[in-house]
Amino acid sequence: MPLKVTHVAVRPTEASLAAGRPSLTPELLAASGARYSRSNDGLESILAKIDPENLDKSVDGIFRMLDYGHASIADMVPVALFIDGISLWLAYYVWTLCPVAGGQESSTRYLRLGEGGLVPPDVLGIPAADREAWGQGMATAFEAYREAVAVWEAVVRADPEAARIPRALQEDPSDKARKTVARMRRNYAFDRARYFLPVAAATNVMLIMSARAWVTLIQHLLSHPLPEANRLGAACREEMGYSAPRLRKHAGAQSSLASGLRQEFAATQALAATLPFAGTGEHPPTPYLETLPPPGGLTGLQAAADLTLHENRYAYVGETLRRTAVRFGWEAVALAEIRDLNRHRTGTKYCPLVPVGFYCASDQLPTSNVAYAALGEMAATATGKAGQQLAAGNPAYIYHTLLGAQYPFEHTTTADKFLYEAELRTGTGAHYRYARHLHDVLALWYARYPETRGLIREGSAEPE
């Protein structure tokens, strides 16, 4: 699947047109909004000054302000881009840079992926001398993925209770129920087999955010050492121009970003020499939790009082918890789960991509399976070799890894946002593995604030 980025414009609805509501181009929308800072006459007065025969004049007068530090104007230019054919790794990296963007990505939980969607090695920056071995490794990984799917499909056929499919649904003869059961069985298998998928497999992403956010993303992508990121940055720059042509000149590589990214890679490379790799097995996902309450502290009784109105994860949380900083994380989390945990909008995440182990769901097998264990050992060995490439200074090492590769992961936010994440990631439809991670870190929270147990809407990852 070749890279393709497509700009999609938003047009007024029939109801809006029938009501006589105005419609503006994205840049004219921003220019009109920007005039609020210099006028209190209201929208009609602002729109009356627009010359329909010379729209550029109305926009240019405002967008020149961008060059004098008024970048907030670009926040009012909405841009939607659909991105097809980027690697799973690059999609993850994009989300690290755009945590508050609206959007979606093709899910490994619901889709069966195949070798046909592998991003070509030249696009990824795999050295020519390594491409044959890399291709063989990718073929082996996809074969392991197919075998793993078959293993888990057999498990759930033999015991539907393993997937926690309600008995009433299993016994329902209707077509709707049969389709639901079949989907839940597929999801059960995909959730456990996905660890063997290469991060070089192609995926699709849709993002909608302001032109200012797009410029920031494009600057990072064009400043990155990997060519796949550069190609995406160039394509996004071209498509963004259909909504915000005046911002293209700001969307270029930045020397400070390029230097900063080189420093980060050097730090990751140095860390690879100090973090031990777990050999042929999983690195324990040991959790940790730190809190920094506001002046006056946070007692368990106060934390509980702040949750008395917390009837669901969107409900009210008191201000003491909202003022409490929280840093939590795990020594090792598979990238498959990191991709989900990374999507939370608030705070700062830290995830040095130094492989420390490999997780492949072997703990979920009802009985030992020698063939499956061999798949896990193969994948762990490949992950260890990727770590060696990192230590040697090859930035394309990441494309040799699979979704089961484990890395340290940390999130710093506030207590109310931490509890929201814990409730979401243990709730209905949650993946069993990140639910386990959040249960573990919640146990540390309860040890500090036992009075909050029962007030936090901790779920059990029921299937949906």
All domains of the chain in start order, with CATH:
4-82+202-253 (3.30.1360.170), 274-452 (3.30.1360.170)
CA 57 – CA 51 distance, rounded (Å)? 8
Going by pLDDT thresholds of 50, 70 and 90, the confidence category of residue 68 is: very low
pLDDT per residue over 338-385, tens digit each? Answer: 999 999 989 999 999 999 999 999 999 999 899 999 999 999 999 999
- For residue 47, which of 75, 36, 245, 37 has the smallest C-alpha distance? 36
Q: What are the start-end ranges of the H helices in 351-414?
A: 370-391
- Is pLDDT above 50 for 187? yes
Rounded to 10 deg, the angle between the 370-391 and 255-272 helix axes is 120
pLDDT per residue over 115-160, tens digit each? Answer: 788 999 999 999 999 999 999 999 999 999 999 999 999 999 999 8
Q: Looking at residues 415-419, what average pLDDT do you find?
A: 98
The model's pTM: 0.94
Q: Looking at residues 410-414, what average pLDDT do you find?
A: 98
Going by pLDDT thresholds of 50, 70 and 90, the confidence category of residue 222 is: very high
Q: What share of the chain has pLDDT > 90, as a percent?
A: 77
- Is pLDDT above 90 for 413? yes
pLDDT value, residue 62 = 66
More confident call, 11 vs 72: 11
* Spatial strand order in the sheet of 4-7: 4-7, 78-87, 202-210, 102-105
Q: Looking at residues 100-105, what average pLDDT do you find?
A: 95
